[in-house]
């Protein structure tokens, strides 16, 4: 059953729209699919962070940097952190077992670390000034946080201990490696093995995956085969579960499971899966045998376009 918008709510939605603009389209998720709603009509969320076993997850707005906190089993989310002068957008994010939330800052060239218990900022991470940058995603290893930049061929790193987080550093320059930046949006999602020895990154514009060995910083292309060819074009967020890598292909509105070899040098693409609730999905987090999928709706962003509200995070079964 789908709920209808009440007259009072419709009046409020219309009143919130400026002159000459269209009101957002009000929709309700199907009963067969669990979902979480984000407050606000212009959220356009992107990243999500969830620690296995926790009841909470965090989602960021690309529009103004608001960070939302959700609780599993409770449909509505709440504001965790309002925007500030430094954090004007929030892209990829991860949370560690110390309750520290790491947030990529997109075009600001910054990243942020928050204490989720005290709701305070622990660290502002900055990168060298440049004309083009987009700090996109982050993965956590036992000793460091690694950040991708979609515009410049650099992998950044901030080391951490149980009690502190270090400064951001240029850890790897991809110039001269197997990973060559092309025009457009390059590195996006990043994942790591539990021991932190291997990193996996996806290059959105080419659809290629790369393996990075932390010990020697070697970069090799992961050879793909299987269902649908040998690339994952429009690859966005990625998630590594054992030897299975899940890649969200945003514009294609699908999630692709890839069975990785023992050394992560090759991968076999499985059958993609999707769900009727997905709306330009970007990033995923795992909870048991289910995925929390962020519905960014970037295809409904811009002049003359109308997003569907509320913005949501879908909760779907891994297939």
| CB-based contacts of 6, cutoff 8 Å, min separation 6 | none
Residue with tokens 């699919």: 33
pLDDT of residue 227: 92
First to last CA, the chain: 24
Phi, psi of 15, deg, nearest 5: -70, -30
Over residues 222-271, the pLDDT tens digits come to 999 999 899 999 999 999 999 999 999 999 999 999 999 999 999 999 99
Q: What is the mean pLDDT of residues 108-116?
A: 98
Q: What is the mean pLDDT of residues 43-64?
A: 97
Report domain extents, the chain: 36-317
| pTM, 2 dp | 0.90
CATH architecture of 36-317: 6 Propeller (2.120)
pLDDT of residue 14: 32
Q: What is the mean pLDDT of residues 65-72?
A: 97
| d(C-alpha 143, C-alpha 125), whole Å | 16
Exposure of 11 by Cβ count < 10 A (0-12 exposed, 13-18 middle, 19+ buried)? exposed
| d(C-alpha 36, C-alpha 210), whole Å | 32
DSSP letter (8 states) at residue 227: T
290-295 and 311-317 beta bridge pairing: antiparallel
Does pLDDT of 44 surpass 70? yes
| CB-based contacts of 239, cutoff 8 Å, min separation 6 | 191, 245, 246, 284, 285, 286, 291
| CB-based contacts of 13, cutoff 8 Å, min separation 6 | 5, 23, 24, 26, 41, 309
| d(C-alpha 88, C-alpha 81), whole Å | 11
What is the total residue count of the chain?
319
Residue with tokens 């998630």: 239
Over residues 142-182, the pLDDT tens digits come to 999 999 999 999 999 999 999 999 999 999 999 999 999 99
| CB-based contacts of 9, cutoff 8 Å, min separation 6 | 26
């Amino acid at each position: 059953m789908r709920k209808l918008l009440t007259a009072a709510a419709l009046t409020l939605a219309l009143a919130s729209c400026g002159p000459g603009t269209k009101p957002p389209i009000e929709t309700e998720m199907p009963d067969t699919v669990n979902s979480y709603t984000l407050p606000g009509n212009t959220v356009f969320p992107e990243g999500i962070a969830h620690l296995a076993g926790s009841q909470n997850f965090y989602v960021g707005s690309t529009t103004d940097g608001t960070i939302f906190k959700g609780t599993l089993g409770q449909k509505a989310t709440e504001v965790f952190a309002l925007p500030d002068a430094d954090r004007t957008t929030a892209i990829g994010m991860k949370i560690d077992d110390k309750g520290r939330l790491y947030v990529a800052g997109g075009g600001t060239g910054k990243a942020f670390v928050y204490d989720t218990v005290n709701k305070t900022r622990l660290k502002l991470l900055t990168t060298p000034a440049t004309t083009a940058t987009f700090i996109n995603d982050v993965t956590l290893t036992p000793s460091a946080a690694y950040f991708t930049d979609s515009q410049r061929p650099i992998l950044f790193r901030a080391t951490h201990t149980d009690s502190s987080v270090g400064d951001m550093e240029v850890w790897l320059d991809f110039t001269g490696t197997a990973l060559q930046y092309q025009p457009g949006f390059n590195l996006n999602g990043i994942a790591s093995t539990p021991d932190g020895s291997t990193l996996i990154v996806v290059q959105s514009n080419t659809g290629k995956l790369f393996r990075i060995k932390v010990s020697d910083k070697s970069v090799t292309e992961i050879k793909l085969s299987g269902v649908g060819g040998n690339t994952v074009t429009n690859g966005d967020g990625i998630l590594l579960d054992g030897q299975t890598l899940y890649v969200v292909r945003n514009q294609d509105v699908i999630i692709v499971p890839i069975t990785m070899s023992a050394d992560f040098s090759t991968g076999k693409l499985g059958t993609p899966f999707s769900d009727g609730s997905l709306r330009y999905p970007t990033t995923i987090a795992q909870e048991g045998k289910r995925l929390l999928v962020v519905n960014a709706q970037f295809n409904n962003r811009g002049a003359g376009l109308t997003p569907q509200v509320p913005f949501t995070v879908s909760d779907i079964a891994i297939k």
